[in-house]
């Protein structure tokens, strides 16, 4: 049995007196796709941000490929950050830079690649998301779906070991959602390890190896999509699934 790529143990996060994450435990294997679902305010995004250390946990362990990220210095975390890609709700592209410049920035600054090397890698991933023709365009000229596909290509350009998505379609108009989910499905069908906070239940059903259902700062249930959606065990899961399937 190989060790998991990510192991979360007794993770807690408190903001002042508000305990947002309460004793979270879970494992993610290389190549696995885990979707995290649950009602708003359940701690899903905070969990994602604590795993990749954008938010420092109050206590617990986040073992990433044999290293406890919670114990790492900010300097060491910066190096590990190359291995973890993050796609945010709101794209976070630099509006004053062309699409290809957005993709080249981190590989050149963080990895020390030359402009030529970074451009080659950037174009590879822009092509993979169907936007090679937008390399010289600026973000403000793109649709929301195109911006999010650029954001995915930018994360891929660092060639990380795992990609995190924080509700990547929630800021999009309905007509743009499908194009982003299609790119994510292609990634999921490959070997990319993915952790996705999402409210797109059909997507979670189709691509997940495992679904974590969160409520009240706790992972209430973990299971395969088939089991979780057809035979949920936890009363909170049953209530949530009943409501989302009724919509």
Same structural domain, 2 and 79? yes
Q: What pTM value is reported for the model?
A: 0.94
Tally of domains within the chain? 2
Of 159, 182, 204, which closes a domain? 159
CATH code of the domain covering residue 187: 3.40.50.300
Asked whether residue 190 is domain-assigned, the answer is yes
Measure the CA–CA gap between 136 and 156, rounded to whole angstroms: 18
For 52-77, what is the mean pLDDT? 88
Query: Are residue 241 and residue 130 in the same domain, yes or no?
Result: no
d(CA 64, CA 241) in angstroms, rounded, equals 31
Identify the band that residue 76 occupies on the pLDDT scale cut at 50, 70 and 90.
confident
Are 79 and 175 found together in one domain? yes
Residues 18 and 53 reside in one and the same domain:
yes
In a domain, residue 13? The reply is yes
**pLDDT above 70: percentage of residues in the chain:** 99
Give mean pLDDT, residues 60-76: 87
Query: What is the reported pLDDT for 78?
Result: 75
| Same domain, yes or no: 195 and 211 | yes
Q: Which domain holds residue 137?
A: 94-159
144 and 176 co-located in one domain: no
Whether residues 170 and 143 fall in one domain: no
Measure the CA–CA gap between 1 and 30, rounded to whole angstroms: 12
Cα–Cα distance, 191 to 206 (Å, whole number): 16
Residue 89 is assigned to a structural domain of this protein: no
pLDDT for 73: 80
C-alpha–C-alpha distance, residues 28 and 129, integer Å: 25
User: Is 78 found in the same domain as 137?
Assistant: no
């Amino acid at each position: 049995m190989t060790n998991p790529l990510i192991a979360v143990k007794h993770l807690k996060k408190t903001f002042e007196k508000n305990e947002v994450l309460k004793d979270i435990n879970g494992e993610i294997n290389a190549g696995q796709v885990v979707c995290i679902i649950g009602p708003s305010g359940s701690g899903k995004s905070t969990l994602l941000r604590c795993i990749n250390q954008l938010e420092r946990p109050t206590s617990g362990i986040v073992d990433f490929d044999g290293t406890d990220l919670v114990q790492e210095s900010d300097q060491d975390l910066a190096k590990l950050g190359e291995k973890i890609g993050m796609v945010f709700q709101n794209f976070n592209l630099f509006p004053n830079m062309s699409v290809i410049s957005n993709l080249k920035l981190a590989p050149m600054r963080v990895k020390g690649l030359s402009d030529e090397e970074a451009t080659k890698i950037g174009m590879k991933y822009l092509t993979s998301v169907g936007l090679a023709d937008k390399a010289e365009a600026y973000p403000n000229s793109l649709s929301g779906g195109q911006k999010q596909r650029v954001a995915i290509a930018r994360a891929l350009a660092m060639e990380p070991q795992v990609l995190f998505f924080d509700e990547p379609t929630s800021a999009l108009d309905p007509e743009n959602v499908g194009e982003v989910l299609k790119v994510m499905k292609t990634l999921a069908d490959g070997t990319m390890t993915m952790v996705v906070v999402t409210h797109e239940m059909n997507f979670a059903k189709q691509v997940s190896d495992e679904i974590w259902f969160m409520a009240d700062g706790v992972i209430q249930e973990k299971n395969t999509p088939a089991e979780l959606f057809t035979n949920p065990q936890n009363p909170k899961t049953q209530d949530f699934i009943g409501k989302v399937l009724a919509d």
